[in-house]
Structure 1
Amino acid sequence: MAKNIIVTGTSRGIGYELVQLLAGQGHHVLALSRNAGPIKQLNLKNVEAFNCDICNEGNLESVRKYIEKDWQHVDILINNAGRLVNKPFAEISTEDYENVYKVNVFGVAALIRVVLPFMPKNGHVLTISSMGGVQGSMKFPGLAAYSSSKGAVITLTELLAEEYKETGPSFNVLALGAVQTEMLQEAFPGYNAPTTAKEMAAYIADFSQKGHQFYNGKLLQVSNSTP
């Protein structure tokens, strides 16, 4: 059965692949990105794409109006947009921290607030985090802002699942290991990840539709390395 699915961070990488996969499965997709061009060029049936900065109140209001007018309800929200800064801790400015947290934490929370009134009890809010945000996992120098922000959305997910456990929807978070994306290449030039964006998108697409039947308020580590 076709679902109404919102995906953020769709101009490249995992989000770009996700939109194509979900549309191919017959779902209605709202693709949100600061650059809607790449998705619009695909000219996919069942896909609406527009420029949206999840840190911008006006842009979020446009999302709310679209849902209200065209959809009335949202089955799945996939918070995939992310920002990464790779700098030694001594060089990370307050502005760097703010920019990373605005996208990875504040923007995620703001979009969830907009979408929640339109989600049914059996809806699913799925947030994409990182293994770097998981306590006890291997950490990488230079990612103080990024990994700490990804830790924040893990805790946020747990809190929201508790707060909305009577009314729904369900909230889960996937902590991804290294995936071969443009963002990874920009942060770690020359590094080759073991998983492609398309492979990870297939896993996320499947989990977004089925995972909430088994999990709520849970962090799942999606990585083929340890710790």
Structure 2
Amino acid sequence: MKKIILITGASAGMGKEMARHLAQDGHTVYGAARRVEKMADLKQSGVKILAMDVTDEASMIAGIETIVKAEGHIDVLINNAGFGSYGAIEDVPIADARYQMEVNVFGAAHLTQLVLPHMRQQGSGQIINISSIGGKFAAALGGWYHASKFALEALSDSLRNEVKQFGIDVVVIEPGGVKSEWSSIAMDNLLKISGDTAYGNLAKQFSAIAKKANEKNADPIIIVDLVRKAIAAKQPKTRYHGGYMAGPALFMRKILPDRTFDKMLLAQLK
């Protein structure tokens, strides 16, 4: 069954690949992002382009109104917009921390609030929140990013139990390492924030490890296929994971005590 789908953060990385492939599958896809100039190529795949900033209420309201007016309803919201603000907690300016939460948490929450009345009215719908394996464990130097993903996971769990009565599903996707511009931006930010502070050595070690890991990261299609599964399922799983080290990392976090898991993470930096 073909769906009306809205994807945020569709100008790059996983979001762009989701938009392209889901449109090629025959769904009506609206790709939303601030950088609309980076989505021009998506039009060739049939993606409808929306200018949207998930920190700007007016643009989110306008985007939802555009979709509902054109299509009459909306079936799937994929909250994919997000970024990683890396740096030691002592170093990261609180203004930067607030913006991290604004994009990764409050933007997704507000857009969800805007689509839910339409989904309740039609008696069906699906909210897919793109979290991270970093929503299940927290490593050094990524505190605010991890905090945002932990929060998104918790909101998803609460929301799932609230909207089940209306025939609406809530799904969390937890990517591990995936090829995108995300990592390079996050590591550049890490060195800018903490590279010359008391945490400088740790930051440089972390950045070096992250750059090496990029070579092993999975192609975005791995996550696209998880989204496809969730959309197609009559009763989707509450969570899906995929990408480099996703399964092993989540398994180790589940079975290991905190301090043992901490030692495992820190050992990677030596």
Q: State TM-score, norm by structure 1.
A: 0.90
Equivalent residue for 1:220, pick from 240, 244, 258: 240
Question: 2:88·2:140 contact (CA, 8 Å) conserved in 1?
Answer: yes
Q: For residues 224 and 194 of structure 1, what CA distance do their matches in structure 2 show?
A: 13
Q: For residues 31 and 13 of structure 2, what CA distance do their matches in structure 1 show?
A: 13
> More strand per residue: 1 or 2?
1
Identify if the C-alpha distance between structure 1 residues 161 and 42 changes in structure 2 by more than 3 Å, giving closer, same or farther: closer
Identify if the C-alpha distance between structure 1 residues 91 and 212 changes in structure 2 by more than 3 Å, giving closer, same or farther: farther
- Aligned-partner SS, 1:165: helix
Question: 1:172·1:212 contact (CA, 8 Å) conserved in 2?
Answer: no
Shift of 1:199: 2.6
**Counterpart of 2:229?**
207
Shift of 1:183: 0.6
Shift of 1:37: 1.7
Shift of 1:61: 1.6
**Counterpart of 1:133?**
135
- Aligned-partner SS, 1:104: helix
Q: For residues 248 and 80 of structure 2, what CA distance do their matches in structure 1 show?
A: 21
**Counterpart of 1:197?**
220
Question: 1:5·1:29 contact (CA, 8 Å) conserved in 2?
Answer: yes
> More helix per residue: 1 or 2?
2
1:33-182 to structure 2, matched below 5 A, reads 33-44=33-44, 46-119=46-119, 120-134=122-136, 137=137, 139-182=138-181
Q: For residues 81 and 29 of structure 2, what CA distance do their matches in structure 1 show?
A: 15
The runs of at least 4 consecutive aligned structure 1 residues that moved more than 4 Å come to none
Shift of 1:126: 0.6
Q: For residues 155 and 42 of structure 1, what CA distance do their matches in structure 2 show?
A: 32
For 1:178-200, what per-residue CA distance to the aligned partner results, in whole angstroms no more than 9, with x for missing partners? 11110112224623143112332
- Aligned-partner SS, 1:220: strand
Q: State TM-score, norm by structure 2.
A: 0.76
RMSD of aligned Cα (Å): 1.7
**Counterpart of 2:11?**
11
Shift of 1:212: 5.7
Question: 1:177·1:225 contact (CA, 8 Å) conserved in 2?
Answer: no
- Aligned-partner SS, 1:164: helix
Unaligned runs of 5+ in 1: none
For 1:66-124, what per-residue CA distance to the aligned partner results, in whole angstroms no more than 9, with x for missing partners? 12310111111111111211111110111111110001110000001111122243311
Question: 1:23·1:44 contact (CA, 8 Å) conserved in 2?
Answer: no
Q: For residues 179 and 111 of structure 2, what CA distance do their matches in structure 1 show?
A: 26
Question: 1:96·1:145 contact (CA, 8 Å) conserved in 2?
Answer: no
Shift of 1:174: 1.4
Q: What residue identity is the alignment partner of 2:248?
A: S
- Aligned-partner SS, 1:97: helix
Shift of 1:45: 5.0
Shift of 1:175: 1.6
Q: For residues 52 and 81 of structure 1, what CA distance do their matches in structure 2 show?
A: 10
Q: For residues 37 and 84 of structure 1, what CA distance do their matches in structure 2 show?
A: 22
**Counterpart of 1:2?**
2
Q: For residues 217 and 158 of structure 2, what CA distance do their matches in structure 1 show?
A: 32
Question: 2:43·2:49 contact (CA, 8 Å) conserved in 1?
Answer: no
Identify if the C-alpha distance between structure 1 residues 214 and 57 changes in structure 2 by more than 3 Å, giving closer, same or farther: closer
More relative contact order in 1 or in 2 (CA 8 Å, sep 6+)?
A: 1
Between the aligned residues of both structures, percent identity stands at: 29
Shift of 1:133: 1.3
Question: 2:68·2:74 contact (CA, 8 Å) conserved in 1?
Answer: no
Aligned length: 221
Shift of 1:57: 1.1
Q: What residue identity is the alignment partner of 1:173?
A: V
